[in-house]
Structure 1
């Protein structure tokens, strides 16, 4: 009986020891698979024009960084499960920490680029750009500095991976660097989203809220709100965990999931815009066949609510006409009544 009891105790201790790492592997595997699927969808719905945009390339970079986090985290956790007495090297362990804490700064920067759609660099005065972007840029620099000090303080005093893992609990509990980082992240996201939604309301207040434009504005609002609310919930949960729970396992899972969900939120916004671009490009190809006929027929545009001859993209304070039709069609569009013209606005 004593031998059976000792064996059961050993098994229970082993299961308890590998349980956090097993959860990490499951989390990384599930979210990495989702990101791979979304990456394929992103390229499938992208057009040659959208792939040249900076935001598209930043989204691809964000996915690659998130997948790198999954690879390094799975290596560390998988080795801890399969071979607990032979851990990964200190460099791989440090890489997993770096890819877990630094990428949110990149993800938040991608969301900040939405403001350039409302304040184009070429048309906005430099003093206005300075007033708008000074605070978020300063906050992001402060976040990078705080994270650098925090990671250096954690890894510099230990010589091996085993000692770093043993130091996790003491380094995690009420860590001032991480609390400062998550607090600044909340302020950073709150500022960016507030400025974007406020200016979105101002720039669209003069547009007639009818047809497809009203639906597009609501979609932009909901996407922007979701990109703020979900990271905000995780940031608050992380601050609560780090100040009340001495075990870093729950907080590490929240930190990992926050990385993946933030990337997915940014990516869903890009997929939504890429999908509309994909549909628009297909409609333009269909119109090319119509224009080649002797008597072209103009179909109604169910997205913008007007005729399919041209789209107007609202950028900054002005409007740019993207027209693929002939000069006669342009002249015809200028003769349209004001309400019908307003229905043709497409906001990005």
Structure 2
């Protein structure tokens, strides 16, 4: 696996991180305030132009609504759930066995062109060959399109306009709504039965998680990811999903402040200090490039943590797409796991 920059750990909704701490760098992939002058359905206005202001403050204006959209895998997954099917994707979408990477959601990878599948891989020639009208990507760091290599950005933007959706520093529901508005502007029906059903399912899952949190106020939950060198403990305010769960009442154990070198998102602990925080349940980064629980088990301090000894380790879908369907599934799974968890593991 290619070495991934440190900031790949910083990004939640995206995916590549093994070998992070071997590299320096603070750059990284990270809704509201954008608008389309197209009608609510996404149809082009009378003068025949399509416009959109993205979260960089960049205004895109095209003669007609974009038909051929290329998107980073997580963005593609969100758009797909709202009814827009990109012609090509980049970022994690295909596993080594040929199966679909969870980060690309419901996207049918047999029907989209692959522009790149791992960090640093973006084939500009293939991108140009699909004749895109628009590129869409999430952003974790301001003005930085996730998975678009900085050295390729000029060439990429010479082919077609780009749209960035800010992910960090935004409420979860606001980000989901942003993708929904973008999808509508691209021609999707915001009142399609599948979209309405997904929204209802999301609301129900959130309500159920809120009820569980009220019934188990003493259940302490911690969220982590790891490299062979370090344990990263999630800083609640910088993660839209975790912040949302905290607002629902979930008792989340998190640092008071992140490690400064990470630009937010995490407190970085050496494995010797992995027992700094105690929790009844630990949610572990489920991304395919992350350090696996079996590997972490070899670290003595990790093995001694109360949640680890109690077997209360569950997946955290750090790169989940920002759609109602995506997070409905995440919260349903989370509730199922927390329902069966003891809240007296931490003494």
Question: Fold conserved (TM > 0.5)?
Answer: no
**Which structure: larger Rg?**
1
Higher strand share: 2
> How high is the TM-score relative to the length of structure 1?
0.26
TM, length-normalised to structure 2: 0.26
